Each structure stands twice: as structure tokens, then as C-alpha cells.
Amino acid sequence: MGYGHYGGGLCSGRGQGKDRHRKKEGHILTVKNPEEAIELAKRLKEEGFGAIEVCGAFGAELAKKMYEATDKTVPVGYVVTPEDELPQAVKFWSED
């Protein structure tokens, strides 16, 4: 997916209170472009988020830039479909 068709989603987690390592809250956010994703990563760090999980379409390079934007304090993972399962995924998501 090229950036021209960019519409990425993020899931972020933040711990709460004394039990912040046990109690987690999740958020689903969207961005319009890579620059917005990088800025959002910075903001999430400032707000105390401890992890960011992004759509695989973000790719390794953008996930790394987001991680670096948090001063390498908030891990950024990205989800991808294994190559051998890709034909099934494309078929499913292409169906109306």
C-alpha cells in the first residue's frame, strides 16, 4: 500500500494507576499520512502510553521512525500477514 492510499490505524496501550503494569487501556486511532503517525507517536509518549501497535501497511521503516520519535521509549510493533497466507487474505479483503 503506497502512501497515496494511506489510511493507517494504530492501537496504543497505557497503564493506569498503581497497577499500571496489570491494568491496561487500549485505544484505536487513525492517521492520514506518515508524518501524522510520527507526530502522534510523540504525543502518545507524552501522554504516558507504553506501547503502540500499527497496521502492517505502515511497514518497518515507518514503525522505526515512530519509535525513534518517542526517543526509543515506546515500542512500536506492526502486524503483517505471513507470506504463505497472503493469497487468502487478499481474496477475503477483495470480496464485496
pLDDT digits (tens, 9 = 90+) for 31-56: 989 999 999 999 999 988 888 989 88
- C-alpha distances (whole Å) from 68 to each of 64, 65, 71, 78, 88 are 6, 5, 5, 15, 34
Distance CA 65, CA 61 (A): 6
Over the stretch 1-15, which tens digit does the pLDDT of each residue have? Answer: 333 334 455 565 665
DSSP label at residue 83: G
Distance in angstroms (rounded) separating the CA atoms of residues 54 and 39: 14
Q: How many CB atoms lie within 10 A of CB 86?
A: 11
